[in-house]
Chain A
């Protein structure tokens, strides 16, 4: 089982950028999530992000917010989330990342929750509302328990701050490519590509992944050309999991992810 950083290194050696795909655990139900994970594996995702729902997800647009609401209503708890993680770990050895909000960790405590996640097979953690300034106890707990910490950056993040974010990050730095929340955009904006280039100029020792608003192979290819070491896609997969008949989720996710993966080749 390779960590997130090793996996991205392996992708680079193969002349590609990494593809990270996201699904919300328990949306619309646990078996749909498992089907989506199987589809991601079949489609060739390099990293799988398993979202854990929070009732008030500030950084998320309507698709993922709604998926969180459905998952919570459906009874998603840490206990059932751990089962999904274990399932994913059984069927694949790609790195697994937990993505959620700070209150979930605050409630369960960092030590207790991170150790449960790591024991179940999680490699890294993304906390959408956790800036580096507030991260001391989170990072020390994660380091001790050997979880990689992915921090977020934004197009308006200063160079000095990018350095601090990179220093606190392991795995990669998650560049939020747009101003706004998660969810589909018409196409990748020029300022997003400029933000990727700027992040790559500043951050030398950590990979840079870009996400938010990326949904098509064309989007992926543009980000790869701009220098992104990884591209992250979420909302479209969440939508496939919600809108497909249960028997079709795996195949649809697989073919969608395979299309994205082909676009990760560096030319």
Chain B
């Protein structure tokens, strides 16, 4: 069925948004096949954003882990510092074709907000970005970048003051301004056609990985990506579903699953409806959405893209978790061994690679999508190290 991944997905929205989603859906289906649209997007991706990104054989990191060879898909080298620009350029271009002049977006860690502001500046669109006030405090650098790029940043102080509430406010703004505005959703979540559309714009990641691995005549044994909403993961996995490669999505384990302070939606959640989609959500027995925690703002979300819910149930992707501590550790290890500072989100995927590599053969290959760079996170990691330093010396 259209807009469904098994029983997941759909379009659970206030009626006002239905015509806008139908308009968006037909524009997307039309332009995705149109030669001039594809050409223009390809050109922007290569000349403005910096595609293709390298697939880097991280030999030092592999030696440190002692086992399989780890390859990093360097989305962190893209303009803006994250994979988000793949999607924002695609949607901003689409918005222009649809005659929309205004863009509204949400952001968690600020990477999608920055990528939206960049794409809008580049393509001559006005942008407004909603961001939770908690996230604004922990990601100040990205707030400044958005301002400088010309985006209006609106703080959100309702609910948990993080990504979930920023999405609520962005959707409300869209309800009120639906005729002139395109909602540039940043992850593979939300009502149809967003999950499918964001996957399409992000699946360039997996296509490049496949051809880059072919060039070095290797088949990846495992492919690892972090999952919040799950856009870099779905973009990575899409090309490899039903191949021999083991696909591993890594959610934020926060303080550990038993602590109750985490964002492991697929790991511990249940089927529900949030932000217009049927998917796994973190909720209580009454159907109220729960609060989440992660050291990384970008994974701090109580829902997940509906296609991931389907891939989990179908057993096609294995979803695991990395704790805050494991992620911060992976962050430091990658920085020291390779001179690469990864985003805390991506560090969750690196942590899983470090965990599985030792039990694999040296001839095997693990591909990790390094979805973003970690400049935005150095303050958070610095504070974390100070706060946890004493305890970690004891252990």
Q: Give chain A's interface residues, CB within 8 Å of chain B.
A: 53-56, 58-59, 61-62, 65-66, 69, 72, 77-78, 101-104, 106-108, 128-131, 133-134, 151-158, 161, 165, 176, 179-181
Contacts and interface: CB of A to CB of B under 8 A. Distances in A.
Contact of B15 (A65, A77, A152): A152
B217 to A, nearest CB: 47
Most chain-B Cβ atoms within 10 A of its Cβ — which of A56, A62, A106? A56
**What are the 7 closest A-B residue pairs judged by CB atoms, nearest first?**
A107-B287, A180-B176, A154-B16, A103-B273, A59-B14, A152-B15, A55-B288
A186 to B, nearest CB: 14
B168 A58 contact: yes
25 contacts: A54-B287, A54-B288, A55-B288, A55-B289, A56-B159, A56-B274, A58-B171, A58-B172, A69-B159, A72-B288, A102-B12, A103-B287, A104-B287, A106-B272, A106-B273, A106-B278, A107-B286, A107-B287, A129-B273, A152-B14, A154-B19, A157-B18, A157-B19, A176-B14, A176-B15
Most chain-B Cβ atoms within 10 A of its Cβ — which of A55, A59, A78, A102? A55
Contacts of B178: 156, 179
Given A107-B287, A157-B19, A161-B18, A134 B175 contact: no
B100 interface: no
A167 B103 CA distance: 35
Nearest to A101: B273
B283 interface: yes
B101 interface: no
Nearest to A81: B286
Contacts of B286: 77-78, 104, 107
Contacts of A77: 286
Interface string B249-291: 0000000000000000000000111111010010101111100
B14 A103 contact: no
Most chain-B Cβ atoms within 10 A of its Cβ — which of A58, A77, A101, A108? A58
B177 interface: yes
Contacts of A133: 11, 18
B97 interface: no
Contacts of B16: 154-156, 176, 179
B295 to A, nearest CB: 23
B158 A134 contact: no
A152 B13 CA distance: 11
Interface string B171-185: 110011111000000
B13 A131 contact: yes
Most chain-A Cβ atoms within 10 A of its Cβ — which of B16, B176, B275, B289? B16
Contact of A129 (B13, B158, B179, B271): B13
B15 A157 contact: yes
A120 B393 CA distance: 60
A134 B10 contact: yes
B164 interface: yes
Given A106-B272, A156-B16, A180-B175, A56 B168 contact: yes
A106 B271 contact: yes
Most chain-B Cβ atoms within 10 A of its Cβ — which of A152, A155, A157, A179? A179
A107 B158 CA distance: 23
Interface string B1-44: 00000000011111110111000000000000000000000000
Most chain-B Cβ atoms within 10 A of its Cβ — which of A62, A66, A134, A152? A134
Given A58-B171, A62-B158, A103-B272, 13 more contacts: A56-B164, A58-B275, A77-B286, A104-B286, A106-B278, A106-B287, A130-B12, A131-B18, A154-B14, A154-B19, A161-B19, A165-B15, A176-B14
Given A59-B175, A102-B273, A154 B287 contact: no
A156 B175 contact: no
A165 B171 CA distance: 22
Given A106-B273, A179-B178, A134 B11 contact: yes
Contacts of B288: 53-55, 72
B19 A180 contact: no
Contacts of A59: 14, 175
A106 B10 CA distance: 14
B332 to A, nearest CB: 36
B226 to A, nearest CB: 23
B289 A131 contact: no
A180 to B, nearest CB: 3
A154 B281 CA distance: 28
A153 B159 contact: no
A55 B159 contact: yes
A54 B178 CA distance: 24
A80 B177 CA distance: 37
B14 A58 contact: yes
Contacts of A65: 158
A130 B271 CA distance: 16
A129 B276 contact: yes
Contacts of A161: 18-19
Contact of B12 (A108, A134, A152, A155): A134
Contacts of A165: 15
Contacts of A54: 287-288
Contacts of A128: 14
A65 B288 CA distance: 13
